[in-house]
Amino acid sequence: MIAQLSVAERQLALVVLGLLALAGLAMTVAGAVNGDLIAVHGLIVLVFAAVLMFVVGQGYYAPEPSPARLAQYYDDPTKVGIVLAMIWAVIGMFVGVWVAALLAWPELTFVDQAWASFGRIRPVHTSGVIFGFGGNALIATSYHVVQRTSRARLPGQFSPWFVLLGFNLFCILAASGYLMGITQNKEYAEPEWYADIWLTIVWVAYFVLFLRTLQRRKEPHIYVANWYYIAFIVVVAVLHIVNNLALPASMGEYKSYSLFSGVQDAMVQWWYGHNAVAFFLTAGFLGMMYYYLPKRAERPIFSYRLSIISFWGITFLYMWAGSHHLHYTALPQWVQTLGMTFSVVLLVPSWASAGNALATLNGAWTKVRDDATLRFMMVAAVFYGLSTFEGSFMAIRAVNSLSHYTDWTVGHVHAGALGWVAMITFGSFYALVPWMWKQSRMYSPKLVEVHFWLALIGTVIYVFAMWNSGILQGLMWRTYGESGGLAYSFMQSVEAMHPYYIARMIGGLCFLLGAIVGFYNIIMTIRMSRQGTQPDARDVPTARADQVLVAGE
Amino acid sequence: MDWTHDTLVAVSKSWGLFYLIGLSIAVLIYALWPSNRARFDDAKTSILTEDDTPEQP
């Protein structure tokens, strides 16, 4: 893969990696002087940079790549991104099953160590699946979609790698930091200041790369999927920067302090938190849906105009919805009402998108029945519709008084994360992997089918368990006895949760098994292409009889 | 002008409304403008016909 980089790009890569290694060294030294854990992260950065320098060095003296490459799309980063996403999926979901099991059986920490406690491994699960799995999937598919819909190659071969690998370094720093207790205690924004600065650099490079590709486009109109990807990139940058404004205690320590305090800090955090759901977990994946679903169904999107209207609706309404996370708090009442109102109105563009996807499939139901890949996307659109309805409903203050702090919220998040985000990703991957590795189909369509049913059953078990436990919990907390005291103690509500926690773990386990099956299937498809079996004639532009592979070649 | 909490409330409660109404109207006009139909139809179908190499300049 290094051979695909021009010599100038290889030099640039070495310089950037050298600077990164220096930064890692500085963090190590400063941390060692202060006796601070930042030294461990410095070492991780140093090793990461050194390994990549070695990889670049290995291919450094390869000849300059042929100019013929410029007549092809640049798909290597997409391929690596798909594999990285699946690795993170398996790690993140495994940790998820583990923390779910911990809630049912608290002794399952196995080792009596701080790193294995619930509070430290839970964020490894959330960041692992959202950023590791979701983020890599978004980067990988965005590279593919923007090139195809613009009919233009990525502008260079260095920056796609910088963005992809730099983002993964951020994910590694995040996950390893949580295990050591390094966190700024903000939901979905736990990594500390140095990791945040690094992600900002990576993200700006991503934005520039995306815009430069669009600038090179040969199509007059920018296809709607790209708009969603742009919204994802731009808004996540804004959210990330504002929510992570903080002052480090010193340059040699990991600890930092937020610039905001009290209720302002809470408001900024949930403005970030809800828009992370909106723009990380929704806008980007809608971009995926608007490309891969019509492609796989071989039907154009039902209404292109509707997709534009819902795009602007989602972009401008979500921005104001975050305060519904802070009902009944010190946040001014009118801000809570504002967030609630916008959350309810959001149902309109959300259902417009879900309906648009389902209407696209209308007339292709036989395909949905026969093709598990398309069925993944169809179920994703259904869950998108369901969970956005549920979200709008739960944002209503009176409903929130029952649902807040209960497992209902956890169930809602997973209806979105498993049912929508993961399903659309798996569907897109099953469509994309054979295209990327030039195969006519996945290694085993049967295993895609197995994955589909495991994922669907897992999601349904999970969501139903959490609905039951959440509503039960909420009701137990607000039931009063005749004397006006609470009818149940908190511990009684915890005991009542036990069967649901076991059910939830089983649901999560099914989902994890599905992801492992999917990963195996993808790896075997890649091996199939390596062994040269099943070359796909469609994708070979200049097929000549004498170039046809013979069996076993 | 002193930028207080009350100012912010006043702006949100009055101009915020008109800004979002204006934006909705602008989006509807853009999406439904008759002469845009051709490029939207083209964009919607063109992703299905592409081949797997970029267009040469």
Residue A84 binned pLDDT confidence (cut-offs 50, 70, 90): very high
CA distance B2 to chain A (A): 19
Beta carbons of A313 and B27 less than 8 Å apart:
yes
- Do both A6 and A146 map to the same domain? no
Which of the residue ranges A124-133, A139-148, A458-467, B2-11 would you say has the lowest mean pLDDT?
B2-11
C-alpha pair distances (Å), A508 with each of A460, A465, A498, A502: 10, 11, 15, 10
Q: What is the mean pLDDT of residues A449-469?
A: 98
Beta carbons of A218 and B54 less than 8 Å apart:
yes
- Do both A56 and A93 map to the same domain? no
Q: What is the pLDDT of residues A162-175, one digit of tens each?
A: 999 999 999 999 99
In a domain, A442, yes or no: yes
- Do both A403 and A256 map to the same domain? yes
Specify the pLDDT at position A542: 38
Specify the pLDDT at position B57: 59
| Chain A residue with minimum CA distance to B48 | A295
- Do both A87 and A21 map to the same domain? no
CB of A524 within 8 A of CB of A457? no
Specify the pLDDT at position A539: 46
Q: Which of B37, B42, B52 is the best mutation test for A, with the most CBs of A within 10 A?
A: B52
In a domain, A102, yes or no: yes
- Do both A352 and A490 map to the same domain? yes
What are residue A247's DSSP bridge partners? A257
- Do both A53 and A81 map to the same domain? no
pLDDT surpasses 50 at A550: no
Of the partner residues A71, A304, A541, the one whose CB lies closest to the CB of residue B43: A304
Specify the pLDDT at position A104: 95
- Do both A397 and A468 map to the same domain? yes
* Chain B touched by A365 (CB under 8 Å): no
pLDDT surpasses 70 at A38: yes
Residue A533 binned pLDDT confidence (cut-offs 50, 70, 90): low
Beta carbons of A308 and B32 less than 8 Å apart:
no
Query: What percent of chain A has pLDDT above 70?
Result: 96
In a domain, A543, yes or no: no
Which domain covers residue A477, as residue numbers?
A: 75-532
Give the ipTM of the model, two decimals please: 0.90
Residue A453 binned pLDDT confidence (cut-offs 50, 70, 90): very high
- Do both A35 and A147 map to the same domain? no
- Using a 10 angstrom Cβ sphere, with 0-12 exposed, 13-18 middle and 19 or more buried, the burial of residue A501 is buried
pLDDT averaged over every residue in chain A: 94
Specify the pLDDT at position B14: 85
In a domain, A550, yes or no: no
Nearest to A280 by CA among A316, A332, A215, A228: A228
**Mode of pairing for the β-strands spanning A246-248 and A256-258:** antiparallel
Specify the pLDDT at position B9: 83
Inter-axis angle of helices A445-477 and A407-414, nearest 10: 160
B interface with A, Cβ–Cβ < 8 A, is 5, 9, 12-13, 20, 23-24, 27-28, 30-32, 39-48, 50-57
Specify the pLDDT at position A284: 96
Which residues fall within 8 angstroms of residue A86, CB to CB, at 6 or more apart?
A133, A429, A515, A518, A519, A522
Q: What is the pLDDT of residues A253-293, one digit of tens each?
A: 999 999 999 999 999 999 999 999 999 999 999 999 999 99
First to last CA, chain B: 54
- Do both A85 and A185 map to the same domain? yes
Specify the pLDDT at position A393: 97
Specify the pLDDT at position B1: 63
Q: What is the pLDDT of residues A102-139, one digit of tens each?
A: 999 999 988 889 999 999 999 999 999 999 999 999 99
Rounded Cα–Cα distance for residues A100 and A153 (Å): 44
Residue B15 binned pLDDT confidence (cut-offs 50, 70, 90): confident
Residue A541 binned pLDDT confidence (cut-offs 50, 70, 90): very low
In a domain, A537, yes or no: no
Specify the pLDDT at position A545: 42
Nearest to A54 by CA among A93, A24, A21: A21
In a domain, A424, yes or no: yes
**Domain finish residue from A60, A84, A100:** A60
| Chain A residue with minimum CA distance to B19 | A316
Of the partner residues B5, B9, B47, the one whose CB lies closest to the CB of residue A295: B47
CB atoms within 10 A of CB A3: 14
CA distance B10 to chain A (A): 11
What are the two backbone dihedrals, phi and then psi, of residue A330, each rounded to the nearest 5 degrees?
-70, -5
Of the partner residues B12, B24, B50, the one whose CB lies closest to the CB of residue A148: B50
Rounded Cα–Cα distance for residues A55 and A67 (Å): 23
Sequence-separated contacts (24+) of A483-492 with Cβ below 8 Å: none
pLDDT surpasses 70 at A383: yes
Retrieve residue A278's tokens.
């909106």
Beta carbons of B55 and A218 less than 8 Å apart:
yes
Rounded Cα–Cα distance for residues A377 and A367 (Å): 12
Query: What percent of chain A has pLDDT above 90?
Result: 92
Q: What is the pLDDT of residues B19-54, one digit of tens each?
A: 889 999 999 999 999 999 999 999 999 899 866 778
Chain B residues in contact with A308 (beta carbon < 8 A) = 27, 30-31, 40
Specify the pLDDT at position A538: 47
Which CATH number goes with the domain that contains A213?
Answer: 1.20.210.10
What are the two backbone dihedrals, phi and then psi, of residue A302, each rounded to the nearest 5 degrees?
-55, -55
Residue A225 binned pLDDT confidence (cut-offs 50, 70, 90): very high
Specify the pLDDT at position B11: 86
Residue A534 binned pLDDT confidence (cut-offs 50, 70, 90): low
Specify the pLDDT at position A377: 98
In a domain, A67, yes or no: no
The count of structural domains within chain A is: 2
- Do both A329 and A398 map to the same domain? yes
- Do both A3 and A115 map to the same domain? no
In a domain, A122, yes or no: yes
Rounded Cα–Cα distance for residues A474 and A355 (Å): 32
Q: Which of A72, A304, A540 is the best mutation test for B, with the most CBs of B within 10 A?
A: A304
- Do both A53 and A137 map to the same domain? no
Q: What is the mean pLDDT of residues A511-519?
A: 98
* A56 three-state secondary structure: helix
Q: What is the pLDDT of residues A365-376, one digit of tens each?
A: 999 999 999 999
Three-class SS of A405-467: CCHHHHHHHHHHHHHHHHHHHHHHHHHHHHHHCCCCCCCCHHHHHHHHHHHHHHHHHHHHHHH
Q: What is the pLDDT of residues A290-319, one digit of tens each?
A: 999 999 999 999 999 999 999 999 999 999
